[in-house]
Copies of this chain bind each other. A is one copy, B any other.
Amino acid sequence: MIGYGLPHFPMTRASSVDDSSGVVARLIGVLGSERVHTHPLDLLVFGKDAGVTPGEAAVVVLPESTDEVAAVVRVATAAGVPVVARGAGTGLAGGAVPTSACVLVVLTRMNEIFEVDEVGRTAWVGAGLVNEALSNAVADHGLLFAPDPASQQTATIGGNVGTNAGGPHCLAEGSTIAHVLGMEVVTGDGEVMMVGGAAPDPLGYDLRGLFVGSEGTLGIVTRVLVRLVEVPPQLETMLISFVDVSDAARAVSEVIAEGVVPAALELMDGPMIEAVENFVHAGLPVGPGAVLLAEVSGHSVGVAADAALVREIAVLNGATEIRVARDEDDRALLWKGRKAAFGAIAQSAPDYYLNDTVVPRTRFVDVLDEIYAIAERYELRLLNLIHAGDGNFHPIVSYDAAEAGMTEKVIDATHEMVRAAVAAGGTLSGEHGIGIEKRDLMPEVFSADDLDAQERIRDAFDPLRLLNPGKVLPEGSRCLDRPPT
């Protein structure tokens, strides 16, 4: 069981921090009382994300500049109080959920676009800027920010950085790490540091891979230098139906094997299609075992050739229907079903639990079969949404947590699914991060020596363990007492 057994704090905790250490008073001194919140409801609301694990902060602050963040960190760490950074709270793995009484730094007010270099195709933005707001702001230059998590209308760039977020279009473009050139970071001692920069390969040790995906455990990213990409001048979007999900999976493998990397290649299985169709009536073909949403994009006539190849492979693998978007409205309709998936799931049952394991393409069909078998054995309702091009599974169990023992059953089943993916050479997470939810599964893919290396990094930047404690790494990963060899 992971992510459970967290301490539930009494509502008076905020004032107890205030009493014992004067942290709240000093935070008010830095930010003013308008931007320091200790009301129990604020602590509850900001203490949650979009996942299943509850948490609660001791005090919530809303800084508006890097200097303010640095001052907040100095106040908190001087008093030995943990600091947790948070964006819009759309995370699914509990990465921004406090595991102990902390200062919760909400970065949503730091949503400025400081600079856009349309020739160099970069922008300096605040960590609190909403993902989609950036793409909207640079659309006039024919540019966009490529990572497109399902939550992009709400999620912040800082949150994308914290979890190394992905999205349907990250198949061809790469996840957030491929789009972050530099970061301004507030360290655990309240200093401001630059990580990376405009050069594609930074000098010395490239620290960007440490900070992107580190969920605020090494520092708080306050400003980000992002790479922008050109809005593709040509685009072809297709919705392809299959009777059997394994036919669709085989078609995906063959497309990739042919060397075509579509801009997106999304798979929904039968139950997922049905839920979506009941919710948004996007005109998805209810009945088939699976639909594949394929988008090919680029500069030239190559787009038409690639799209034709995708269709040819689909037909050879038993596609029963292929719809091609003729215009923007059509394209929006084809995407509507995919984008509404989480709303549809939420409508169909009170609760859902999802994982995001990654499976090698060669084992795609086997693992999918195994995941279905596990759901059947546990008698659970399973819907599948898959970033199929890179084998990033999102098996979603839809359930009612009010049923006795149901949550435990769902978590047990989901962990079996994760282990099936790992046993097939896959990994724990494609894009949602480790957070609380998967922390204790890390030893399934890392040896003691590997985890020790991870802990060394944490020790280097957060020796006191005051930056988002209890995340990413399981307890006791350091091998300090290893006998000499």
A interface residues, Cβ below 8 angstroms from B: 74, 119-120, 164, 166, 174-175, 177, 187, 189-195, 197-210, 212-214, 218, 230, 233, 257, 259-260, 298-303, 305-306, 358, 360-362, 390, 425-431, 434, 438, 442, 445-447, 449-450, 452-454, 456-461, 472-473, 485
Contact = CB atoms under 8 A, between A and B. Distances in A.
Nearest to A358: B199
A358 to B, nearest CB: 6
Given A301-B305, A449-B193, A210 B201 contact: no
A15 to B, nearest CB: 28
Contacts of A195: 450, 453
Given A119-B257, A453-B461, 9 more contacts: A120-B362, A190-B485, A193-B452, A193-B453, A195-B450, A203-B438, A205-B458, A301-B305, A457-B457
A385 to B, nearest CB: 19
Contacts of A457: 205, 207, 457, 460
A208 B212 CA distance: 12
Contact of A434 (B175, B203, B233): B203
A205 B214 contact: yes
B299 A300 contact: no
A266 to B, nearest CB: 17
Contacts of A445: 197, 203
Contact of A442 (B203, B390, B429, B458): B203
Contacts of A233: 259
Nearest to A306: B300
A260 B299 contact: yes
A193 B450 contact: yes
A465 B205 CA distance: 16
Most buried by B among A209, A426, A453: A453
Nearest to A441: B203
Nearest to A197: B427
A321 to B, nearest CB: 26
Q: Interface SS of chain A: helix, strand, loop or mixed?
A: loop
Nearest to A204: B454
Nearest to A427: B199
Contacts of A166: 201
18 contacts: A120-B360, A187-B453, A191-B449, A193-B449, A193-B452, A199-B427, A201-B431, A202-B427, A204-B434, A204-B454, A206-B210, A207-B454, A298-B302, A301-B301, A302-B305, A456-B460, A456-B461, A459-B460
A124 to B, nearest CB: 13
Contacts of A197: 427, 445
B362 A200 contact: no
Contact of A299 (B191, B302, B485): B302
Contacts of A206: 164, 177, 209-210, 212-213
Given A191-B449, A194-B450, A362-B119, A207 B209 contact: yes
Contacts of A204: 213, 434, 442, 446, 454, 472-473
Nearest to A164: B201
A174 B86 CA distance: 32
Contacts of A434: 203-204
B390 A299 contact: no
A216 to B, nearest CB: 12
A303 to B, nearest CB: 8
Contacts of A190: 485
The 6 closest A-B pairs by CB, nearest first: A302-B302, A206-B209, A300-B302, A209-B209, A456-B460, A460-B460
A187 B453 CA distance: 9
A25 to B, nearest CB: 19
A200 B174 contact: yes
Nearest to A429: B203
A210 B453 CA distance: 12
A96 to B, nearest CB: 17
Contacts of A257: 119
B301 A428 contact: no
A37 B371 CA distance: 56
A175 B199 CA distance: 12
A205 B210 contact: yes
Contacts of A306: 299-300
B360 A198 contact: yes
Contacts of A430: 199, 201
A45 B351 CA distance: 68
A327 to B, nearest CB: 23
A61 to B, nearest CB: 19
